[in-house]
Amino acid sequence: MKLTKSKINDLLTQPGCEHNHNKEGQGKNKSCTQTANPGSAQGGCAFDGASIALVPITDAAHLVHGPIGCSGNSWNSRGSLSSGPMTYKMGFTTDLSENDIIFGGEKKLYKAIAQLIKKYNPAAVFVYSTCVTALIGDDLDAVCKAATNKYETPIIPVHSPGFVGSKNLGNRLGGEALLDHVVGTKEPEYTTAYDINLIGEYNVAGEMWGVLPLFKKAGIRVLAKITGDARYEEVCSAHRAKLNVMICSKALINMASAMKERYNIPYIEESFYGVQDMNRCLRNIAQFFGDQVLIERVEEIIEEETAKLDIALAPYRERLKGKRMVLYTGGVKSWSIVSAAQDLGMEVVATSTKKSTEEDKGRIKKLLGKDGIMLEKGSPEELLRVVQKTKADLLVAGGRNQYTALKAKIPFLDINQERHHPYAGYIGLVEMARELSEAVYSPIWTQVRKPSPWEIWQQEHESLLNLEAEGE
How far is residue 13 from each of residues 4, 7, 17, 22, 367, measured CA to CA in Å?
A: 14, 10, 8, 11, 28
Q: Are 143 and 30 in contact (CB under 8 A)?
A: no
Do 62 and 151 share a domain, yes or no? yes
pLDDT for residue 143: 97
Do 375 and 399 share a domain, yes or no? yes
| CATH code, domain carrying 436 | 3.40.50.12380
| CATH code, domain carrying 115 | 3.40.50.1980
String of DSSP letters for 261-325: HHH---EEEE--SSHHHHHHHHHHHHHHHT-HHHHHHHHHHHHHHHHHHHHHHHHHHHHHTT-EE
Q: Are 105 and 131 in contact (CB under 8 A)?
A: no
134: nearest Cα among 76, 73, 51, 47: 47
- Residue 24 resides in a domain: no
Integer Cα distance of 254 and 272 in angstroms = 21
Q: Are 16 and 250 in contact (CB under 8 A)?
A: yes
Do 274 and 381 share a domain, yes or no? no
Integer Cα distance of 44 and 65 in angstroms = 18
Do 404 and 341 share a domain, yes or no? yes
Do 228 and 291 share a domain, yes or no? yes
Do 408 and 330 share a domain, yes or no? yes
- Residue 189 resides in a domain: no
- Residue 48 resides in a domain: yes
Last residue of a domain, one of 307, 331, 359: 307
Do 322 and 442 share a domain, yes or no? yes
Do 303 and 343 share a domain, yes or no? no
- Residue 34 resides in a domain: no
Do 338 and 354 share a domain, yes or no? yes
Number of residues that this document lists for the chain: 472
pLDDT for residue 451: 82
- Residue 470 resides in a domain: no
Last residue of a domain, one of 284, 307, 330: 307
Q: Structural domain of residue 149, as residue ranges?
A: 42-181
Edge to edge, the sheet with strand 92-93 lists 92-93, 61-65, 125-129, 155-158
Backbone angles phi, psi at 364, to 5 degrees: -60, -50
Last residue of a domain, one of 126, 153, 181: 181
- Residue 228 resides in a domain: yes
- Residue 118 resides in a domain: yes
Task: Give me the number of domains the chain comprises.
Answer: 3
Do 164 and 240 share a domain, yes or no? no
Residue-level pLDDT, tens digit, the chain, 472 residues: 667 666 666 777 666 665 444 444 444 444 454 555 544 445 678 999 999 999 999 999 999 999 988 888 767 667 899 999 999 999 899 999 999 999 999 999 999 999 999 999 999 999 999 999 999 999 999 999 999 999 999 999 999 999 998 888 999 999 999 999 999 999 999 999 999 999 999 998 999 999 999 999 999 999 999 999 999 999 999 999 999 999 866 789 999 999 999 999 999 999 898 898 899 999 999 999 999 999 999 999 999 999 999 999 999 999 999 999 988 876 556 667 788 888 899 998 888 776 666 666 666 676 676 677 877 777 888 888 888 888 999 998 887 788 888 888 889 988 877 778 898 999 999 999 999 999 999 998 888 888 888 888 888 888 888 877 776 6
Q: What is the pTM of this model?
A: 0.85
Beta bridge partner(s), residue 244 = 197, 267
